[in-house]
Amino acid sequence: MYELKVISSFSAAHHLLNYEGECENQHGHNWKVEVYIKGENLDKSNILVDFKVLKRELKKVLDELDHKDINELEQFKNISPSSEVLAKYIYDGMKKVFPLVSKVGVWENENSCSMYYEN
């Protein structure tokens, strides 16, 4: 089994709904995003997925979020856009292009990460 990982980032504001504490107020993060790809078969160049293509497609998904107020985006209306929700959103966006996506991690800061994957 082979596994690849690419890392990117985006900056955006959000606030949590149905939450009591500081995070109910609008605030921002510089999120770090990790996307993992797993597979058994390499292509004719002996690669699983071209890193360049993987990074390009991840950028497209993250551009939807970058420098935005996430709560104001249509896809997050009436949803508390936690790091967990963002990890699934990015996972779903990447899975449309890369069926081999196995996991997405979203870091709010250097000490806190949410992961999303399917069993």
Task: Kindly state the average pLDDT of the residues 57-80.
Answer: 97
Catalytic annotation present for 108? yes
Residue closest to 7 by CA, chosen among 43, 33, 29: 33
- Does position 23 have pLDDT exceeding 90, yes or no? no
Cα–Cα dist 25/27, whole Å: 6
Which of the four pLDDT bands, split at 50, 70 and 90, describes residue 89?
A: very high
Task: Kindly state the average pLDDT of the residues 69-92.
Answer: 96
Per residue in 38-54, pLDDT (tens digit) is 999 999 999 999 999 99
Which of the four pLDDT bands, split at 50, 70 and 90, describes residue 119?
A: confident
Q: What's the per-residue H, E or C state across 74-105?
A: HHHCCCCCCHHHHHHHHHHHHHHHCCCEEEEE
* Long-range CB contacts for residues 26-30, cutoff 8 Å, separation at least 24: 26/69, 26/71, 29/108, 29/109
Residue among 15, 64, 108, 113 flagged as catalytic = 108
Task: Kindly state the average pLDDT of the residues 16-25.
Answer: 92
Residue among 3, 24, 27, 67 flagged as catalytic = 67
Set out the domains of the chain in order of their start, with CATH numbers: 2-116 (3.30.479.10)
